[in-house]
Amino acid sequence: MMTDLTGRTCLITGASSGLGAHFAHLLSGAGARLILGARRRGRLDALVSDIEAAGGEALAVDMDVSDEPSTIAAFDAAEERFGPVDTVIANAGIASSGRATQVPVDELRRMFDTNLLGVLLTAREGARRMISAGSRESGKGRILLIGSMGAQVTLAGEAAYCASKAGVAHLGRSLAREWMRQGINVNVLQPGYILTEMGGEWFASEPGKKQIAGFNRGRLQPIDSLDAPVLYLCSDASQSTTGSIFTIDDGQSL
């Protein structure tokens, strides 16, 4: 299969829950070796155990994407265990909801540090390692940035979050242009609202249920709706795809 990831070594940030944990199971099932980064080490260790029990290979690393030494250390640990990383999914992200006039500045800084600076630090360290390992010759470098449909629509109470994700979208195109001659493809995937731990409490509430009812299909986006594009963008099949932004949101942004 062209989306077979056997032989690939992939680092996933924000892997302790939600989309990151889902992607970990997905890529492991396709044959990739995994480095799983996040700040909640206990959850990472449990995820590694599940993957290994299913016959996969994975390594948990403590990782704060907003801190460059932490990011460098994660890639060092990856290389020590599995060799060079050739695939990166920059998935770590947080939200800080509220009116723009009311969200505390410390929360705003933490969100931008995670959602935008953290994505850049992760992507550029991955690119450095790929270039050093010969991605220019192999053409196998893959970097996938996880954005949000909020990059292209306004979401109530999410002005700063949407701005951070719009930054991710443009960052992806800019990095794709910068690294295309180094054999590295950079793309952006923009999901809609998916039921994960981050939004679970809200969507279980009455206002959250009303929001779901207002979506064009009256539902949250199924998490497995991202499986095919993620496998494609991380695989050799996507050799001619770079600088692209894929909004896959179950029509929520229409």
Please state whether beta strands 58-62 and 245-248 pair in parallel, antiparallel, or not at all (unpaired).
unpaired
Count of other CB atoms within 10 angstroms of residue 31:
15
Give the integer Cα–Cα distance in Å for 211 and 220. Answer: 10
Would you state the structure tokens that stand for residue 242, as one six-digit string? 């770079």
Establish whether 193 is a catalytic residue.
Answer: no
Q: Which of 23, 75, 112, 161 is catalytic?
A: 161
Count of other CB atoms within 10 angstroms of residue 238:
19
Give the active site residues.
161
